């Protein structure tokens, strides 16, 4: 199948904004305060946003892409693979499904496969990279749909958070779960659950304890030396240390470090880190 008839699109929770050489589009989520609206695209100064938010004490929240945003992202592509943040914490998947329906009704020859990542950040990146690989290998649309669904069982996400304030304020975790991480020095380590919600696993005193805990948990959940994608919110030191710890235990690990975009930065907060890995 002609790879150039296929397009990958994902919402901005993936932190992927381009995917050379393939056609790709990111559908932005938005971060909204009483003062300002931040659109999570490549032109946004995420550092400025994080700084603004540190001194801002009013209400803040987020909004998922609208159906129209998704239709814009689809463009005119005959075959679209559309990756969203977990449907259990966001309306993104839902509006993507509505967009798919409209798109396929308007253009009966076009097809959209919507993938609910049940996750966030670098696990979406892994799914996107796998889609790219399958497309470039010349697989058919149907083959890719089947293979990517299977791949989702072999990708997982762990995270380390210093604060769950924004998650709790926006009803994405219970206040009880959040309060444990609010304590100075405590790092909450958890994973994306099977249902695509936050599953707290361990409260660590300090980053020094949290990083080896992440490696142990990767091992426990089936990591054996494949791809790892680390997204950090202004914490490159922790990301580099984690990379070194993983390589100590798994010499064949293929690890890349990237920065959180606006959506992940808003929820993971300064110092936070998300770790997508293959199992
Ligand atoms: O629709 C919207 O407004 C977006 C809501 C997104 C809420 C959750 C974002 C989580 C970002 C935090 C740690 C990783 C959690 C993964 C759980 C599946 C990152």
Which residue bears the tokens 């020094």?
Answer: 208
Name the residue of 233, 263, 271, 276 to mutate for ligand 1: max ligand atoms within 8 A of Cβ: 263
Q: Of residues 137 and 177, which shows the higher confidence score? A: 137
Q: Mapping DSSP to helix (H, G, I), strand (E, B) and coil, where does residue 59 land?
A: coil
Range of weakest confidence among 24-38, 88-102, 117-131, 171-185: 171-185
DSSP 108: T
What per-residue confidence (pLDDT) applies to 240? 98
Q: Which atom of ligand 1 is nearest to the CA of 61?
A: 3
**What is the tens place of the pLDDT at every residue in 124-168?**
999 999 999 999 999 999 999 999 999 999 999 999 999 999 999
CA-wise closest residue to 279 among 106, 157, 104: 157
Residue 183 has pLDDT above 80, yes or no: no
pTM for this structure?
Answer: 0.98
Name the residue of 10, 12, 59, 62 to mutate for ligand 1: max ligand atoms within 8 A of Cβ: 62
């Amino acid at each position: 199948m002609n790879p150039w008839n296929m397009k990958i699109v994902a919402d901005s929770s993936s932190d992927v904004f381009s995917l050379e050489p393939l056609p790709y589009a990111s559908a932005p989520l938005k971060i909204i305060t009483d003062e300002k609206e931040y659109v999570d695209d490549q032109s946004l100064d995420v550092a400025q946003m994080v700084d603004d938010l540190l001194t801002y004490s009013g209400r803040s929240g987020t909004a998922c892409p609208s159906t129209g945003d998704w239709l814009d992202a689809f463009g005119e592509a005959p075959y679209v693979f559309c990756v969203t943040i977990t449907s259990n914490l966001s309306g993104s998947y839902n509006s993507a499904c509505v967009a798919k329906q409209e798109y396929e009704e308007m253009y009966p020859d076009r097809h959209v496969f919507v993938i609910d990542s049940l996750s966030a950040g670098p696990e979406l990146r892994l799914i996107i990279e796998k889609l790219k690989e399958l497309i470039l290998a010349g697989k058919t649309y149907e083959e890719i749909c089947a293979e990517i669904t299977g791949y989702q069982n072999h990708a997982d996400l762990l995270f380390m958070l210093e604060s769950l304030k924004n998650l709790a304020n926006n009803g994405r975790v219970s206040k009880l779960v959040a309060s444990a991480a609010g304590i100075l020095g405590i790092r909450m380590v958890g994973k994306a659950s099977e249902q695509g919600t936050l599953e707290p696993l361990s409260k660590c005193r300090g980053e020094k304890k949290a990083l080896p805990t992440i490696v142990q948990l990767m091992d426990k959940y089936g990591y054996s030396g494949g791809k790892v994608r680390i997204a950090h919110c202004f914490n490159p030191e922790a990301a580099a240390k984690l990379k070194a710890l993983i390589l100590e235990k798994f010499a064949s690990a293929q690890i890349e470090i990237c920065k959180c975009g606006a959506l992940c930065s808003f929820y993971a907060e300064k110092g936070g880190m998300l770790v997508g890995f293959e199992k």
